Homo-oligomer: A and B are copies of this chain.
Amino acid sequence: MAPAVEQFVLRWGDLGGQWGVNRSVAQIHALLYLAERPITAEDIADALGMARSNVSNSIRELLGWKLIRRVPVLGDRRDHYEAETDLWQMATRIAQGRKQREIDPAVAALRHVVDAAEDDPRVSRVARDRLRAMQGFVATLDDWYDQMLAVPPNKIMALIKLGSRVVNLLSFGRGKKGADKDGKD
């Protein structure tokens, strides 16, 4: 394996660790992302020096995230895998997964807490207000997140390319300071 590829695999694996994805999973994903053609589980285990079982479990997780897919290869009974290479698809799927697994439960928990606080006279007025504020805020973000995930990738890309200029293109460019016209507000 070329040093650069190896580096990428290692870095990506490490990165995954920081983001709550386990290292093996991230490494396998990295390897498949750079692979020219579909490869088998055994090849993966071989290339990365990890146990077959570990590869099997990790593949299962990656399939769950829809970041890789199984592809049949003529004349070979073994399963081969290839990665999703459309980066927007990738990003979207990761974002969806994280939202479902982390954000949604948080929102639910928060709602529950706020409900409990409403009925409790021992909770100060200040605390109650802050809880409500937090709940509203999170709900707003959550809603936004959903909407953005529903917008087709190419349009999102256009939005991003616009960057902060989007602010000026819309009506609320009428802020106090008049002349910040170059995306640097």
Contacts and interface: CB of A to CB of B under 8 A. Distances in A.
A81 to B, nearest CB: 16
Contacts of A167: 151, 155, 159
Given A116-B7, A164-B150, A167-B159, A102 B144 contact: no
A110 B98 CA distance: 22
Interface stretch (A41-49, A56-64, A68-76, A131-139): A131-139
B160 A141 contact: yes
Contacts of A170: 158-159, 162, 166, 169
A113 interface: yes
Nearest to A8: B113
Contact of A120 (B3, B127, B159, B172): B3
B185 A117 contact: no
A176 B155 CA distance: 12
Interface in A152-185: 152, 155, 158-164, 166-167, 169-170, 172, 175, 183-185
A5 B121 CA distance: 12
A131 B85 CA distance: 11
Contacts of A112: 7
Contacts of A19: 102
User: By CB atoms of chain B within 10 A, which of A5, A35, A122 has the most?
Assistant: A5
Contacts of A126: 34-36
Given A4-B120, A15-B106, 19 more contacts: A2-B117, A2-B120, A3-B120, A3-B122, A4-B113, A4-B123, A7-B113, A8-B131, A11-B106, A11-B110, A34-B126, A85-B133, A87-B137, A91-B137, A91-B141, A151-B185, A155-B167, A159-B166, A169-B170
